[in-house]
Amino acid sequence: MKRHSRVFPAWFIPVIVLAVLSGCGSKDKDGGAAPSAAASVSLPAAASPGGPGATATRTVAPVLSGPEAKDIHSYAEPDIARVSNVDLDLTAHFDSRTLQGTATLDVLSGVREPTLTLDTRDLNITAVTDDKGQALPWHLATPDPVMGSALRIQLGAARRVRITYSSSPGAQALQWLTPAQTAGGKQPYLFSQGEADLNRSWLPTQDSPGIRQTWAATIRAPEALTVVMSAARLGEPKKLKDGLREWRYGMEHPVAPYLIAIAIGDLAFQSLGERTGVYTEPSGLKVAADELADIEKMVAAAESIYGPYRWGRYDVLVMPPSFPFGGMENPRLTFATPTIIAGDRSLVSLVAHELAHSWSGNLVTNATWADFWLNEGFTVYFENRIMERVYGADAAAMQADLGWDSLQQEIRELGGPRAPDTRLHLDLTGRNPDDGMTSIPYEKGATFLRTIEAAVGRERWDAWLRDYFDRHAFQPQTSTGFLDDLREHLIKDDAALEKRLKLDTWVFEPGLPANAVHVKSTAFAKIDARAAAFARSGIAAADVQSWSSPERVRFLNRLPRKLGPAQLKTLAAAMDLDAQRNSEVRFAWLELAIANRYEPAVPNLEDFLMKMGRRKFVLPLFKDLVAQGEWGRALARRIYPAARPGYHSVTTSRVDPVVPLAAAKSQ
């Protein structure tokens, strides 16, 4: 059996001893000792998130070695020197759109005079010293368009370095919003989006998901604004002289650096339960709190399935409309699109998804972006289990069945079942990690886990998965590591089961293996029949009135792609499509309308594209337009320049190549 190994440089030895002595070491198959969980080390107090004072215990997570754990999207060389803790001290300058200050890094190394290699992008670095202020030699490499610039620092005997820097106004992870781009219209707003490799544009560290780091931050911002981060707030904000307030946050668990997140704005908070709550701009707080009322129940449901929630609080920050994703699982503080506010709680599965990442993704994390499915596939699976527990089996089956549809569609769009990007374990050589962000890691990943569940039975599967999260808590993981664990602890020596599951085919081969389990929603049978009969018998408002949002989405997606204007008019009237607040339904409608060059839907389309920047909607809609000849291209050329200033770089970087291309081709 192929086993991956871990990096155990000299500094790790006392940690192993500590771990074994304290009883948390485990014997591996070969009889050697391997740390089964992140170990604890005592570190000097000044380095602790708590700041100067008492001695603190900080956890150091192992870094995996072996070729499948090598992160090609980071310059870091963790076996020479690795960052274990980051302490930021930054001021947010809204006028110059910069974060400016210092990052102090704690470094572990078994080498006598190591070179520390960090990831950066577009940072303006002015000084690098040790913690006593002694200058250290450093060099910033020429930038690579995908990876950024390696920052190499000769540490000598130093194991703590301080980098003085500022981010650039165009920093990829950051979006600086003008007051006009917020709901309140009076205060500016800043937020970060770190995943996958964007955080290097505002903090110099080893930006690799396999190199977990504890962190803390002192942030100064205009006193009218609230600073929130993906960590625990330490103490109350301090008022400073020059119209600023200073906030301190700390994350005691080692996390992948893409999970360090910040938002600064005119924010209000409402509690939703004992350990849950919602932040957003004051004007939207009441509706957001109502929409998200079930969060506390979801946390309890998740815990009852896969064990304790280990992060303390779980809050949701409802973002401004430009937020490029549906949600981002920043620890303790999910960032969520405002399109989640449908008015009828019909999109809360998105919160179930981000919450599920508190286990799959944040606790056990893909070591490299090639294994992104370990984050997202597990999470889609777990999200569905939470939905089942809170809203029942029918609701869960509808979600899963829609997932199956999007998987089929994605396989077609990627070029069919032999296309390399339909593999779970991706080859991202020479590519942006973002290129792997298709429905494959999400839906093929979840389908894989459902297939294993069906084969071994839910009870055995759940017991294994719960233990798996415990065994690998706060550690990176690879596909190989997952398969090893599954074989060792679930399949054991059951050769027939091993054969039936086709594990390696699932992970390393393209397409969908023949044993894939398709969860079918029985409720969809009548919807599909209705869609098939639409051309003949049309549809009336009374038919659709009782349909849930997933049923509406399914219906729209199952309609013939080519419809005439009269049919579209009937449809729009029966389903009140131009007044839909559920963004999934609205999106399904707009795709259908564009496919038929249906002019009356254009104001709705334009409104949607102007008012939110979620890439999942924006990118396909522009692609759809461009595919519609001059009719669509003219619309794209008109709408995109107007909407673009409101989009985050994550969205524009993918839409830019689509729209100008259309302009060029149509000329």
Q: 181, 189 in Cβ contact below 8 A?
A: yes
For ligand BES, the nearest residue by Cβ is 326
Q: 258, 330 in Cβ contact below 8 A?
A: no
Select the binding partner of residue 106 from ligand BES, Zn ion, none (C-beta < 5 to 8 A, by kind). none
To Zn ion, the closest distance from the beta carbon of 379 in angstroms equals 5
Residue 442 designated active-site = yes
Nearer to ligand BES, 87 or 410 (CB): 410
Residue type, 181: Q
To ligand BES, the closest distance from the beta carbon of 380 in angstroms equals 7
Nearer to ligand BES, 315 or 354 (CB): 354
Q: At 447, list the tokens.
A: 């389908």
What angle separates helix 583-595 from helix 615-626, to the nearest 10 degrees? 10
Closest CA to 327 of 212, 474, 201, 195: 195
CB atoms within 10 A of CB 242: 8
Select the binding partner of residue 313 from ligand BES, Zn ion, none (C-beta < 5 to 8 A, by kind). none
Select the binding partner of residue 326 from ligand BES, Zn ion, none (C-beta < 5 to 8 A, by kind). ligand BES
Residues 202 to 241 in contact with Zn ion, rule: CB under 5 A: none
Residue 354 designated active-site = yes
User: Which of the following is catalytic: 291, 354, 443, 453?
Assistant: 354
Q: How many residues bind Zn ion (CB under 5 A)?
A: 2
- What is the Cα–Cα distance from 205 to 221, expressed in whole angstroms? 22
Q: 555, 527 in Cβ contact below 8 A?
A: yes
* Residue 176 DSSP class: E
Q: 233, 249 in Cβ contact below 8 A?
A: yes
CB atoms within 10 A of CB 432: 17
Nearer to Zn ion, 218 or 379 (CB): 379
Nearer to Zn ion, 201 or 375 (CB): 375
Residues 366 to 425 in contact with Zn ion, rule: CB under 5 A: 376, 379
Select the binding partner of residue 437 from Zn ion, ligand BES, none (C-beta < 5 to 8 A, by kind). ligand BES
Q: What is the distance in angstroms between the CA of the first residue and the CA of the last residue of the chain? A: 58
Phi, psi of 101 (to 5 degrees): 160, -135
Select the binding partner of residue 350 from ligand BES, Zn ion, none (C-beta < 5 to 8 A, by kind). ligand BES
To ligand BES, the closest distance from the beta carbon of 21 in angstroms equals 37
How many secondary structure helices (H) and strands (E) does the chain include?
22, 26
Which residue, chain included where needed, has tokens 């600064």?
Answer: 264
Select the binding partner of residue 327 from Zn ion, ligand BES, none (C-beta < 5 to 8 A, by kind). ligand BES
- Cα three-residue angle 68-70-72, rounded to 5 degrees: 120
Q: Which residues of 320-351 are buried (b: 16+ CB within 10 A; e: fewer)?
A: bbbbbbbbbbbbbbbbbbbbbbbeebbbbbbb
To ligand BES, the closest distance from the beta carbon of 424 in angstroms equals 15
* Residue 148 DSSP class: B
To Zn ion, the closest distance from the beta carbon of 269 in angstroms equals 24
Residues 337 to 376 in contact with Zn ion, rule: CB under 5 A: 376
Nearer to Zn ion, 434 or 488 (CB): 434
Select the binding partner of residue 328 from Zn ion, ligand BES, none (C-beta < 5 to 8 A, by kind). ligand BES
Where along the sequence are the contacts to ligand BES (CB under 6 A)? 195-196, 325-329, 350, 353-354, 357, 376, 437, 616
- What is the Cα–Cα distance from 585 to 596, expressed in whole angstroms? 17
- What is the Cα–Cα distance from 253 to 40, expressed in whole angstroms? 10
To ligand BES, the closest distance from the beta carbon of 326 in angstroms equals 3
User: Which of the following is catalytic: 249, 442, 598, 647?
Assistant: 442
Nearer to ligand BES, 207 or 376 (CB): 376
To Zn ion, the closest distance from the beta carbon of 190 in angstroms equals 23
Nearer to Zn ion, 379 or 447 (CB): 379
Catalytic residue list: 354, 442
Residues interacting with Zn ion, by CB under 5 A?
Answer: 376, 379
